[in-house]
C-alpha cells in the first residue's frame, strides 16, 4: 500500500516533480563532485599555487551545500616581507559568498573555528611584495569567530588560556590596501610567557583592535600606529623573580607565581593614549644585608593618563636595608613617540631618588653611549638623586655606581677593570649646550687585551680614569658625549706582544718589559680624536733585519684622527728614542752605547694587526753604523769604507712605510762633515733589496743590494743611483693603498 508521502507527491504537477528530481540530482552531484575534489590530490596544488607565500592544508574536509565547507585539522601559513605566520584549528566551518566572485572578491561572510593556535615570527628571509595589479583579487573575512582560542604567539611571547575572539579584515592581494575591521579578544586564566619565562598567570585579558584602510608600503613600521584604534585590559598575577639582595652579592632567585599583581587599562586612538588609562604594578622583594634574614618589601609602580602621563614608583627604605626608590615623572604629552622614546625626554619633568643593587648595570652604559664601546657589564650598587627639568638634568643631580665592572673597547683593544663611576651636573657649564653632565669612571685595577684574543692580556695597571662629558639634555647626551682616557705607567710584562703590530720577521721584539701611559680623547663612538700613547722599556731586545739589538726604548705617539679616512690616524710630531743600544756591526765588532732620536713630522697609521704606517722621518744618531750594517749582513763592506763613514753624529731624513710584512726606507739622506749617504731599502720576508750611494767630496761609491748579491759602482755612481727607480712616492700625503679589511682578504 503506497505511503501518504508518495500519494501526496503523486498529486503534485509533473513539472514540479521533475524540477525536484533535477534539484536532488544536482545536489547529489554537487556533494559527490565537491567532496571528491576536496579529498582528491588535486585540491591542495590548486589552492597552494604560491607555496612560499601562502599555504592551506587540512586533514579532512566536507561540503554539504554550495559555498559551505567543514574542515578538520586546518593549518594555514604565509610569509610577507620579514614576517612569517602560522595558524591552526581543530575544526573550521565557513561559507563563501558566490556573487562577489564576479568582481574578483573572495568573501567569507562568516567563519567559525575551534581550538585555535596562531603564531607570528619575524625572520631574516625577506619575501618581497608583489607588484600591484588591477587584476588582483580581494579577500574579505569580516567575521572569523572562535569560542576556544588556545594560544596566540608573537616571536618568543606567548599568550595561552581559555579565549574567545572575533577578527575581521579585508585585503587586496598583490600589495594592495589592508583594513582590519573591529576585532575583539577576551581570555581568562591567561598565562603570558616570554622565552619560557612566565610573566602573567591566572590573568584576565581583553583586547580590541581596528586599523583604518591603508597601503602597507606607504605606512612602514611605527607609522602604522597612527592608523590603529585599540584598547588593552589586563588583570592578574605577575610571575616575577623574587630576589634576595645583600651586600655579599648573594642573590637568591626563585619564580613566585603569586609574587606580584598587574592592573592595566589603556586605550589608543590617533597615536595618543586616551585619558582615564591606568597601569598599576606591584613587585615583591626580599631585601637584606649580609648575614641577616631578608625582609619583605613591595615595590609599587603606577602610571596614570590624563592630560599628561604621570609615572610614580615607590619603595620606602626598610629597616636594616639601603635599597629604596622614590620616582615621579610627568610627561606632558600622550602621543606615542613614533620616532623613538627619546622624543619624550624634552617633555619630561620630575625626580628619581634611588639606592639599588643591580645584577647588571649594562642598561646604564647603554643609556650613555650609542655604539657599544663602553659596557658596565657586571653587578653593582647604584645610588642616584636626579632632578629633571624639561628633559635636562638640573644642577644638584648626581649618581654613583660602586663595586662595578667596566669594559671599554678602544683601538681594537679591550680595557677591563673594576671600580666606581660618579656622575654629576656641573652648573657653571650649563651655558654650553653640549656640556654640563660629567661621569668620572675610576678603575682601581685594569687590564688590556686585544679584541681578537681577549685571553692574551698584555697590559696591567692601576688607577685608570675615564672621564665623560656631555650635554645635560638627556635627548642629546649620546651624540654630544666626549671622553678622556688616562692612565700612567701601566705594566707591560712582555714586549713581544707588540709583534702583532710589526712586520714580524724583519722588525720584532725578542724580549723585555716596560710601561705604557695614555692620555686620549675619544668621541661619542669611542674612536680616538686625539691623544698621547707613551711606551717606556729598559733593556729591551729587538731583531731588525737579521741584526739583534738591545737597549732602552722610548715611544711617544701623538694620535689624531686623519681627515682622509676615519679608520686612519695621524701620528704627526711623534717621537722614538733609542739609548744604550748594543749590536754587532758589519765588521763583526760589538757596538755599545749607540743612540738615536727619531722624529715623525708627518705620519699616518691604519691601526690593525699588523699596523700600516706611512711617515716622513728625521733622525739624529751617534753614527750611521747601524744603517750600513743593513747593507752588509751577509758580505761585509770594504773595511776602509766602514772606517770612513762609521764616525761622527749624523742627520738622517727618510720616507718610511710599513705594510703587512714589509718595511721600506726610501729617499734616505744622511750627512755629516765627512760624508754623505743616500739610500733606499726594502725588507720583506727576511730578504733585503736596495740601493746605496756614498759620497766623500767628489768621490762616490754606489752599491746595489739584491739579497746576498752586491754590485759595486765606482764610475758614474751618482748618475747610476739617480737612474734607479724609487720605492716610494715623495708626495705627501701618500697615495692610499687598500688594506686587508678593505679588500676582504
pLDDT at 490: 96
pLDDT at 647 over 80: no
Number of H helices, E strands in the chain: 9, 40
Among 151-165, 349-363, 496-510, the range scoring the smallest mean pLDDT is 496-510
What mean pLDDT do residues 417-424 have? 94
pLDDT winner (highest mean) among 192-196, 293-297, 555-559 = 555-559
pLDDT at 436: 82
pLDDT at 636: 59
The C-alpha atoms of residue 301 and residue 280 are separated, in whole angstroms, by 6
pLDDT at 475: 87
pLDDT at 637: 62
Q: Please give the residue that has the higher pLDDT: either 50 or 281.
A: 281
Give burial (CB, 10 Å; 0-12/13-18/19+) of 42: exposed
pLDDT at 543: 86
How confident is the model over 1-18, as pLDDT tens digits? 455 555 555 566 777 778
Q: Please give the residue that has the higher pLDDT: either 398 or 637.
A: 398
Ramachandran class of 175: left when φ > 0, alpha when ψ lies in -120 to 50, beta otherwise: left
Q: Please give the residue that has the higher pLDDT: either 24 or 166.
A: 166
**Which three three-digit cell numbers place residue 614?**
706611512
How confident is the model over 87-111, as pLDDT tens digits? 999 999 998 888 888 888 989 999 9
Which residues, in sequence order, are bridge partners of residue 693?
678, 702
Which residues touch 476 (CB under 8 Å, ≥6 apart)?
433, 434, 470
Q: Give 174-230 as a DSSP string.
A: TT--EEEEEEEEEEEEEEEEETTEEEEEEEEEEEEEEEEEE-GGGS-GGGGGGGEEE
**pTM attached to this predicted model:** 0.74
Among 68-72, 504-508, 687-691, 733-737, the range scoring the smallest mean pLDDT is 733-737
pLDDT at 250 over 90: no
Confidence of residue 219 (pLDDT cuts 50, 70, 90): confident
pLDDT at 10: 59
What mean pLDDT do residues 24-33 have? 82
How confident is the model over 344-382, as pLDDT tens digits? 888 999 999 999 888 888 989 988 998 889 999 888 889
Q: Please give the residue that has the higher pLDDT: either 315 or 431.
A: 315
Q: How far is CA 139 from the centre of its chain?
A: 40
Q: Give 572-594 as a DSSP string.
A: TTEEEEEEEEEEE-TTS-EEEEE
Which residues touch 699 (CB under 8 Å, ≥6 apart)?
none
Q: Please give the residue that has the higher pLDDT: either 737 or 588.
A: 588
Among 239-243, 313-317, 462-466, the range scoring the smallest mean pLDDT is 239-243
Of the candidates 538, 539, 614, the residue with the CA atom closest to the CA atom of residue 574: 614
pLDDT at 22 over 70: yes
Note whether 661 and 610 are within 8 A (CB): yes
Amino acid at each position: 500500500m503506497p505511503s501518504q508521502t508518495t500519494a501526496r507527491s503523486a498529486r503534485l504537477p509533473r513539472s514540479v516533480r521533475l524540477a525536484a528530481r533535477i534539484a536532488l540530482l544536482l545536489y547529489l552531484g554537487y556533494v559527490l563532485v565537491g567532496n571528491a575534489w576536496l579529498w582528491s590530490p588535486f585540491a591542495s596544488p590548486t589552492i597552494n599555487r604560491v607555496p612560499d607565500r601562502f599555504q592551506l592544508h587540512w586533514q579532512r574536509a566536507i561540503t554539504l551545500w554550495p559555498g559551505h565547507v567543514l574542515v578538520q585539522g586546518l593549518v594555514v601559513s604565509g610569509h610577507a616581507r620579514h614576517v612569517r605566520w602560522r595558524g591552526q584549528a581543530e575544526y573550521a566551518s565557513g561559507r563563501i559568498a558566490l556573487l562577489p566572485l564576479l568582481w574578483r572578491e573572495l568573501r567569507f561572510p562568516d567563519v567559525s573555528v575551534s581550538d585555535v593556535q596562531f603564531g607570528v615570527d619575524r625572520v631574516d628571509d625577506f619575501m618581497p611584495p608583489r607588484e600591484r595589479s588591477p587584476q588582483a583579487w580581494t579577500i574579505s573575512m569580516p567575521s572569523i569567530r572562535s569560542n576556544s582560542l588556545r594560544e596566540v604567539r608573537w616571536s618568543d611571547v606567548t599568550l595561552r588560556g581559555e579565549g574567545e575572539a572575533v577578527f575581521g579584515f579585508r585585503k587586496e592581494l598583490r600589495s594592495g590596501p589592508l583594513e582590519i575591521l573591529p576585532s575583539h579578544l577576551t581570555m581568562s586564566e591567561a598565562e603570558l610567557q616570554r622565552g619560557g619565562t612566565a610573566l602573567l598567570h591566572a590573568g584576565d585579558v581583553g583586547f580590541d583592535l581596528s586599523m583604518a584602510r591603508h597601503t602597507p608600503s606607504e605606512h612602514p613600521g611605527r607609522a602604522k600606529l597612527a592608523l590603529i584604534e585599540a584598547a588593552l585590559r589586563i588583570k592578574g598575577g605577575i610571575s616575577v623573580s623574587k630576589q634576595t639582595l645583600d651586600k655579599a652579592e648573594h642573590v637568591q632567585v626563585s619564580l613566585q607565581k603569586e609574587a606580584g599583581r598587574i592592573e592595566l587599562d589603556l586605550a589608543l586612538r590617533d597615536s595618543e593614549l586616551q585619558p582615564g588609562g591606568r597601569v598599576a604594578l606591584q613587585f615583591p622583594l626580599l631585601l637584606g644585608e649580609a648575614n641577616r634574614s631578608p625582609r619583605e618589601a613591595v615595590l609599587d609602580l603606577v602610571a596614570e593618563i590624563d592630560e599628561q602621563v604621570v609615572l610614580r614608583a615607590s619603595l620606602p627604605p626598610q629597616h636594616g636595608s639601603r635599597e629604596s626608590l622614590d620616582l615621579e615623572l610627568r610627561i606632558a604629552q600622550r602621543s606615542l613617540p613614533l620616532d623613538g622614546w627619546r622624543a619624550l625626554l624634552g617633555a619630561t619633568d620630575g625626580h628619581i631618588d634611588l639606592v639599588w643593587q643591580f645584577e647588571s648595570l649594562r642598561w646604564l652604559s647603554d643609556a650613555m653611549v650609542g655604539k657599544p664601546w663602553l659596557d658596565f657589564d657586571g653587578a653593582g650598587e647604584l645610588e642616584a638623586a636626579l632632578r629633571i627639568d624639561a628633559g635636562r638634568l638640573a644642577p644638584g643631580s648626581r649618581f654613583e655606581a660602586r663595586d662595578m665592572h667596566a669594559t671599554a673597547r678602544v683601538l681594537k683593544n679591550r680595557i677591563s677593570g673594576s671600580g666606581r663611576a660618579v656622575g654629576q651636573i656641573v652648573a657653571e657649564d650649563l651655558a654650553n649646550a653640549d656640556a654640563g653632565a660629567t661621569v668620572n669612571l675610576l678603575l682601581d685595577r685594569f687590564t688590556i687585551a686585544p679584541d681578537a684574543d681577549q685571553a692574551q692580556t698584555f697590559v696591567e695597571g692601576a688607577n685608570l680614569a675615564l672621564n665623560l662629558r656631555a650635554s645635560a639634555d638627556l635627548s642629546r647626551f649620546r651624540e654630544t658625549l666626549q671622553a678622556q682616557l688616562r692612565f700612567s705607567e701601566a705594566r707591560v710584562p712582555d714586549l713581544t706582544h707588540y709583534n702583532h703590530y710589526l712586520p714580524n720577521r724583519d722588525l720584532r721584539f725578542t724580549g723585555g718589559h716596560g710601561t705604557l701611559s695614555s692620555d686620549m680623547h675619544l668621541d661619542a663612538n669611542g674612536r680616538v680624536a686625539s691623544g698621547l700613547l707613551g711606551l717606556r722599556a729598559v733593556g729591551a731586545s729587538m731583531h731588525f733585519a737579521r741584526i739583534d739589538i738591545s737597549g732602552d726604548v722610548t715611544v711617544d705617539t701623538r694620535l689624531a684622527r686623519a681627515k682622509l679616512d676615519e679608520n686612519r690616524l695621524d701620528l704627526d710630531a711623534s717621537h722614538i728614542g733609542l739609548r744604550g743600544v748594543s749590536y754587532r756591526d758589519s765588521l763583526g765588532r760589538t757596538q755599545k752605547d749607540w743612540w738615536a732620536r727619531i722624529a715623525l713630522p708627518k705620519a699616518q697609521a691604519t691601526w690593525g694587526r699588523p699596523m700600516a704606517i706611512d711617515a716622513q722621518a728625521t733622525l739624529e744618531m751617534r753614527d750611521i753604523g747601524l744603517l750600513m750594517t743593513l747593507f752588509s749582513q751577509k758580505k761585509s763592506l770594504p773595511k776602509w769604507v766602514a772606517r770612513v763613514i762609521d764616525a761622527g753624529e749624523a742627520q738622517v731624513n727618510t720616507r718610511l712605510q710599513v705594510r703587512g710584512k714589509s718595511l721600506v726606507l726610501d729617499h734616505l739622506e744622511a750627512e755629516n762633515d765627512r760624508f754623505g749617504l743616500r739610500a733606499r731599502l726594502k725588507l720583506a720576508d727576511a730578504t733585503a733589496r736596495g740601493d746605496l750611494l756614498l759620497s766623500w767630496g767628489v768621490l762616490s761609491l754606489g752599491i746595489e743590494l739584491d739579497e746576498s748579491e752586491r754590485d759595486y759602482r765606482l764610475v758614474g755612481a751618482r748618475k747610476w743611483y739617480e737612474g734607479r727607480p724609487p720605492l716610494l712616492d715623495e708626495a705627501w700625503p701618500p697615495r692610499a693603498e687598500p688594506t686587508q679589511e678593505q679588500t676582504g682578504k
